[in-house]
């Protein structure tokens, strides 16, 4: 990376912008990712910060850069796709900070879809076949799990990743489900998928790090596996600090250093700029952050030692007979713990928020699911 270092001086720093998590393993993994990026730029100060529920906050990280006499910051969102956090929360926070200080902040692109990210995904799936010699790709069905967003453009990118991996590895079939916000969610999606007749199903969480959502994917897929003992379910590892992921971060930094990041912007399907069918009311909405109330709150979950075990979502000591009280308990349990991505904000209501295979099924599990979760945990 000597070429890069020769173009930089001590007044330039790099900020890796994370979402944040209460899960300790997720934070550890994020630190490791930042360390690997720092190795690519040994003479440049690289810091990281989070939007919520973890420290340091983005503001803390910016303050640290300023205290080191940094005058220009290259801020890269550690996000797979450009949804609300990338389009609203992070840039709003960065712009407000820049206005209040003498620091210049240049905002880079999310990781997005490129050859490197596709290769990282394909390699994670191929690892399953390396560990299971009897598996045949064309006889296996791949289920890619995205985080889920109220932005249809971001959701569609997960489906594109699915197709690219299916063709890259030569799999028999591919489907896309989501861990929250949109539809289909993991469990109802998998219950539809098993009807296709494949005997081998590979579940791949298209996530950067561990956490409650990855654990939720495991738990919900295990419920479907219990009801379908004739099908083998295999779990691929999430992306983590795969070498191709690190290379993509380097690409995003290079784009800014070479002053060509604007050449890669694609707003053709952004719901804030184009009149997408079903999302017409969101064109031209003012973009602002909705994380001020949680930024800098360094909450860690004490229910699990390292990797999330889902205790915050399944720790219901007894099944409540009264349905109204049951639903109230579940809602409060989700709200008070990890289901924090459903912030109250000033944006339009997600038009598919009541889809029967979507957020409603996540918010209100059935009594059978509660019973099963209670027994298993």
Q: What residues act catalytically?
A: 19
Is 162 within 8 Å of 121 (Cβ atoms)? no
Is 76 within 8 Å of 21 (Cβ atoms)? no
Vertex 140, ends 138 and 146: CA angle to 5°? 120
Exposed, middle or buried by CB within 10 Å (0-12, 13-18, 19+), for 89?
A: buried
* Dist CA 48 CA 44 (whole Å): 13
* Dist CA 53 CA 342 (whole Å): 14
In the three-class reduction of DSSP (H, G, I as helix; E, B as strand; rest coil), residue 235 is classed as strand
* Dist CA 333 CA 363 (whole Å): 10
Tell me which residue of 229, 204, 200, 225 sits closest to 139, measured CA to CA: 200
Give me the half-sphere count of Cα atoms (radius 13 Å) on the Cβ side of residue 224. 23
């Amino acid at each position: 990376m000597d070429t890069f270092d020769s173009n930089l001086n001590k007044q330039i720093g790099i900020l890796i912008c994370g979402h944040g998590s209460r899960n300790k393993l997720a934070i550890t993994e994020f630190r490791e990712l930042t360390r690997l990026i720092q190795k690519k730029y040994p003479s440049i100060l690289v810091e990281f910060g989070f939007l919520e529920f973890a420290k340091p906050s983005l503001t803390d990280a910016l303050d640290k850069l300023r205290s080191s006499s940094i005058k220009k910051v290259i801020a890269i969102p550690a996000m797979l796709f450009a949804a609300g956090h990338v389009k609203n929360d992070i840039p709003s926070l960065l712009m407000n900070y820049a206005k209040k200080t003498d620091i210049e902040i240049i905002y880079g692109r999310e990781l997005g879809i490129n050859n490197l990210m596709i290769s990282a995904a394909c390699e994670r799936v191929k690892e399953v076949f390396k560990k299971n010699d009897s598996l045949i790709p064309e006889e296996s069905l791949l289920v890619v799990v995205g985080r889920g967003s109220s932005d249809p453009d971001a959701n569609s990118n997960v489906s594109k990743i699915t197709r690219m991996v299916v063709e890259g590895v030569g799999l028999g079939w591919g489907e896309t489900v989501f861990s929250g916000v949109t539809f289909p969610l993991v469990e109802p999606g998998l219950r539809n998928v098993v009807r296709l007749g494949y005997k081998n199903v590979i579940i791949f969480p298209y996530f950067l790090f561990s956490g409650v959502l990855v654990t939720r994917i495991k738990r919900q897929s295990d419920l479907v596996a219990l009801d379908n003992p004739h099908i083998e379910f295999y779990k691929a590892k999430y992306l983590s600090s795969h070498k191709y992921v690190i290379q993509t971060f380097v690409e995003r930094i290079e784009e800014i250093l070479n002053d060509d990041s604007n050449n890669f912007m694609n707003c053709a399907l952004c719901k804030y700029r184009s009149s997408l069918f079903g999302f017409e009311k969101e064109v031209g909405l003012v973009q602002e952050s909705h994380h001020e109330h949680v930024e800098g709150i360094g909450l860690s979950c004490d229910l699990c030692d390292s990797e999330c075990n889902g205790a915050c979502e399944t720790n219901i000591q007894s099944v409540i007979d009264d349905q109204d009280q049951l639903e109230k308990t579940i809602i409060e349990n989700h709200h008070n713990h990890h289901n924090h991505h459903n912030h109250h904000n000033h944006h339009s209501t997600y038009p598919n928020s009541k889809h029967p295979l979507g957020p409603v099924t996540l918010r209100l599990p059935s009594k059978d699911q509660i019973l099963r979760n209670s027994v298993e945990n």
